[in-house]
Every structure is written in C-alpha cells, then in structure tokens.
C-alpha cells in the first residue's frame, strides 16, 4: 500500500478478500468491523497493563482477532490459499488463561457491575463489544451461507468474552479493588 486512502470507498462500497465489492452496511462488513472494534479495545487494555504476561496474552488475542476478521472478510467464491484460521488450540489457550486467573479469584455469589479499576472497566467495554460481535456474526451467517472457518470464529469470540470478564475481575484483584456486586432493589 503506497497510500492509506484509495478513494474506492467514497460511494459506500468496500472490497472483501477476493476482490468482490459490497455495500459498507452489509452484514459481513458489520461483523468483521465489530471484531476490529474489539481489537482496538484489546490494544487499549494491552497498552495500559503493567503485567507482562497479560500483555503477551493480549497481543496473541489481537493477532487472533485479525485472523477472525480475515475469515469473516473472505469471499466464499474466491479460491484464496493459505488463509490463516482459528484453531481449537486457540480456544483451549483462552480457556487455560481463564482457569489460571479464576483459581485466584473468589467465587461469584451475585452478579457484578462493570467497573472497579479502570483496567477492569476497559475489559468490560471490550467484553460487551465482543458479545455484539457474536450477534453480528450470527446475524450475518443467518442472512448468508455459513462457510469456511466462521463456526470457529464464533466459538473464539464467545470464549473471548468469557476471558475478558475473568480478566476484568482479575485486574480488580491484582489492583486491590473489589468487584462491585449488583444490588437488587
């Protein structure tokens, strides 16, 4: 890319992987755009964390989110080769990280409100965007045909929201901040 602007999207269309052009309000574009939004928030988390292990996890997650976007942006009729895919081991890694953090956290006895430490709040924002991405991906699949690695993308995004919830609680713990229980009225 020699220039960041191409002017090809000035009329409301964009190219997907394989060259096909779609309207920018297409559900496919919405789905991978929301994953891009998660990626930006995960970058914010990484930039604000002082924990090197967590920063390494978050960098790996950002790379996997790019893989998710690639799989969502793919034209099903294009015969592209060597497209990276989310694998079961990527999901297992998220589960391992969740379990590692969870063993140091007190059990939940009620719902908790988003917040506590600012890093926890950033996690909750990313988590809610993750849930929206999941809905956007499902809406896209239901409007079109499911193909390729998209089912693994859904699984990864679902597990990532669990990871982000646990990370929010973990950031509260390591920063001596308590989770805020929801109070029924």
Per-residue pLDDT of the chain in tens (185 residues, 90 and over written 9): 567 777 766 677 677 676 777 767 778 888 999 999 999 999 999 999 999 999 999 999 999 999 999 988 887 777 777 889 999 999 999 999 999 999 999 999 899 999 999 999 999 999 999 999 999 999 888 876 655 568 899 999 999 999 999 999 999 999 999 999 999 88
Fold of 22-73+111-176: Hypothetical Protein Ta1238; Chain: A; (1.20.1200)
Q: What is the pTM of this model?
A: 0.90
Closest by CA position to 93, among listed 130, 46, 123, 56 = 56
Residue spans of the domains in the chain: they are 22-73+111-176
Of 157, 159, 168, 161, the residue nearest 123 (C-alpha): 168
Matching residue, tokens 């009329």: 11
**Cα–Cα distance measured from residue 116 to residue 171, given in angstroms and rounded to the nearest whole number:** 9
Residues 72 and 150: beta-carbon distance below 8 Å: yes
Distance (Å, whole) CA 151 – CA 137: 9
Residue bearing tokens 């942006």: 73
Task: Name which of 129, 155, 148 is nearest 31 in CA terms.
Answer: 129
Report d(CA 179, CA 110) in Å as an integer. Answer: 10
For the chain, the straight-line distance linking the first and the last C-alpha, in angstroms and rounded, comes to: 56
């Amino acid at each position: 890319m020699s220039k960041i602007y191409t002017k090809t999207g000035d009329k409301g269309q964009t190219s997907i992987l394989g060259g096909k052009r779609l309207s920018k309000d297409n559900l496919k574009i919405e789905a991978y755009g929301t994953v891009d939004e998660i990626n930006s928030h995960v970058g914010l988390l990484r930039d604000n964390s002082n924990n090197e292990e967590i920063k390494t996890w978050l960098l790996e997650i950002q790379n996997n989110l790019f893989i998710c976007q690639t799989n969502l942006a793919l034209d099903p009729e294009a015969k592209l080769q060597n497209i990276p895919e989310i694998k079961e081991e990527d999901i297992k890694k998220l589960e391992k990280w969740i379990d590692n953090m969870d063993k140091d956290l007190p059990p939940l006895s009620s719902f908790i409100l988003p917040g506590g430490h600012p890093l926890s709040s950033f996690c909750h924002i990313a988590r809610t965007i993750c849930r929206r991405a999941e809905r956007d991906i499902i809406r896209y699949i239901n409007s079109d045909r499911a193909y390729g690695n998209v089912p693994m993308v859904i699984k990864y995004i679902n597990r990532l929201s669990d990871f982000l919830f646990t990370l929010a609680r973990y950031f509260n713990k390591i920063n001596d901040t308590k989770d805020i229980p929801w109070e029924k009225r």
